[in-house]
Amino acid sequence: MSASPRPSVRQQRLAAELRRLRAQSGFTGDEVAERLSWSTAKVSRLENARTGARLSDVEMLLELYGVNGRRRAELIALARDAAQRGWWEDYPWLDPGYAQLISLETEADAELQWENVVVPGLLQTESYARHVVGGWNYLDRRISPQEIERRIELRIRRQEVLHRPNPMRLDLVLDEAVLHRRVGDAAVMAEQMEHLRRSAELPHISLRILPLDGFHAVMEPSFTLLEFSDIYDVQFPDIVYSETLTMDYLTDEAVSFRARLAHRQLREDALDPVESRIHLAAARDMWSSRA
């Protein structure tokens, strides 16, 4: 049985703004509950995104807080957006941690990533993904072939954030070892290298290879930093996560700052985009010769 889904980015934005508006208006949670004939628990749930906010509830709160005009219209629009279901919610078997990742990527403006083990999920070909996902069967024998196919389908669909009208920006530093670490057979690797090379030509994707024989000032495990712009002037913190077995998410500002510094240094130590594409083409040709 799956755990309750975590609130989406927009739900969390709305909840945080409702909490801020209450404090700004000088009300306590108890006072809001009394004014609106609600329970204090309901106010708390709304302000912590533990329950979906109905539009009528948001309208009552905005009226109580004296929010009018353009600001009111923006927050009503945010409330409507927050009520929309994400496409990933059509997969009831989906692990909550992975569902949270998809939700975050869908809302993110940019993803800064360092990867030193495998090609990141957003840039995997279907064949490469099949071997990566299939490898999970060694850790959990309960994963059936049917479930592996469902997870591959989900991983490919997740890549839509890079191909939508307003695509997410991806800034990836990839360890050269990943180009030589065989996943599947040589044909799978050749296809994957060409896919990386073509992806690196897209204007919203920056892909740099960290060479094996280069200077490495930063020795960090793989990580991703997701950046979010304000929506209707409502902020959301940057998030650092590790796409591992545990799917750890961190919103601490010190962690985000460290990740940003590490990524910047890795970027400086890596090859430039043109040299990186040359390396990818060479890796493609190497694997093609072995296919």
Higher pLDDT, 89 or 172: 172
| Structural domain range at position 174 | 87-290
Q: Are residues 34 and 101 in the same domain?
A: no
- pLDDT value, residue 87: 85
Q: Are residues 119 and 234 in the same domain?
A: yes
Mean pLDDT of 67-80: 91
- How does pLDDT run across 227-268, given as a tens digit for each residue? 998 766 667 888 898 765 455 667 678 888 999 999 999 999
- How does pLDDT run across 267-282, given as a tens digit for each residue? 999 999 999 999 999 9
- pTM for the full predicted model: 0.82
Does residue 280 fall inside a structural domain?
A: yes
Q: Are residues 57 and 91 in the same domain?
A: no
Q: Are residues 148 and 263 in the same domain?
A: yes
Cα-based angle 147, 151, 154 (whole degrees, multiple of 5) = 140
- How does pLDDT run across 119-162, given as a tens digit for each residue? 999 999 999 999 998 876 666 666 778 888 888 999 999 999 99
Q: Among residues 35, 64, 82, which one ends one of the domains?
A: 82
Does residue 4 fall inside a structural domain?
A: no
Q: Are residues 25 and 92 in the same domain?
A: no
Q: Are residues 281 and 144 in the same domain?
A: yes
> 77 and 232 in contact (C-beta within 8 Å)?
yes
The pairing of strands 110-115 and 169-175 is parallel
Q: Among residues 82, 100, 127, which one ends one of the domains?
A: 82
Give the C-alpha separation, 163 to 71, whole Å.
32
Long-range CB contacts (< 8 A, 24+ apart) of 126-134?
126/152, 126/156, 127/184, 127/187, 127/188, 127/191, 127/192, 128/183, 128/184, 128/188, 128/189, 128/191, 128/192, 129/155, 129/156, 130/184, 131/183, 131/184, 131/188, 132/183
- pLDDT value, residue 248: 64
Q: Are residues 176 and 150 in the same domain?
A: yes
Report the number of distinct structural domains present in the chain: 2
Nearest to 87 by CA among 147, 168, 153: 153
Provide the phi-psi class of 207: left if phi over 0, else alpha when psi is between -120 and 50, else beta.
beta
**Helix crossing, 96-107 with 9-25: angle to 10°?**
70
Give the C-alpha separation, 185 to 180, whole Å.
12
Q: Are residues 75 and 99 in the same domain?
A: no
- pLDDT value, residue 129: 95
> 107 and 234 in contact (C-beta within 8 Å)?
no
Q: Are residues 13 and 140 in the same domain?
A: no
The token duo for 27 is 């009300």
Q: Are residues 134 and 260 in the same domain?
A: yes
The CATH number of the domain holding residue 271 is 3.30.870
Nearest to 159 by CA among 201, 208, 126: 126
Give the C-alpha separation, 20 to 22, whole Å.
5
- How does pLDDT run across 9-41, given as a tens digit for each residue? 888 889 989 999 999 999 999 999 999 999 999
CB atoms within 10 A of CB 194: 18
